[in-house]
């Protein structure tokens, strides 16, 4: 089963949700702003995405701090989930950022 990291206020996130429903994908929604990922989950997500955390960080958010090392950035993201790019779809093995939402089709 897939997990969908969703922000209902984000148009891309809503579009991704619509795409997954149209494709009849079995997934659960996690509103990551209400139910943030902890540091270990962020590390796991980074591995599934095959990306350093900085590559799925929203660096224009006011809480972002430049020149952090990976561990500091992970801790900051765990405390400030708004820093995480959205939407993200993942399962036990793989993940992708849905920008554009059609990226999800690559891992389904």
What are the boundaries of each domain within the chain? 2-106
Please identify which of the residues 2, 5, 9, 10 carries the catalytic annotation: 10
The mean pLDDT of 13-40, rounded to a whole number, is 98
Q: What is the pLDDT of residue 68?
A: 81
The mean pLDDT of 75-93, rounded to a whole number, is 97
**CA–CA separation, 7 vs 9, rounded Å?**
5
Q: Tell me: pLDDT of 97 over 90.
A: yes
What own/partner pairs with CB < 8 Å and gap ≥ 24 does 8-11 have? Answer: 10/86, 10/87
Q: What is the pLDDT of residue 3?
A: 98
Q: What is the pLDDT of residue 66?
A: 84
CATH architecture of 2-106: 3-Layer(aba) Sandwich (3.40)
Q: Is residue 10 flagged as an active site residue?
A: yes
Say what the pTM is: 0.94
């Amino acid at each position: 089963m897939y997990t969908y990291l969703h922000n209902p206020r984000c148009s891309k996130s809503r579009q991704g949700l619509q795409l997954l429903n149209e494709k009849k994908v079995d997934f659960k929604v996690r509103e990551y702003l209400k139910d943030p990922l902890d540091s270990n989950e962020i590390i796991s997500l980074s591995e599934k995405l095959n990306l350093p955390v900085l590559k799925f960080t929203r660096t224009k958010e006011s809480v972002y701090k430049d020149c952090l090392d990976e561990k500091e950035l992970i801790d900051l993201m765990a405390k400030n989930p708004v820093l995480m790019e959205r939407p993200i779809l993942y399962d036990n093995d793989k993940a992708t950022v849905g920008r554009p939402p059609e990226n999800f089709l690559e891992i389904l």
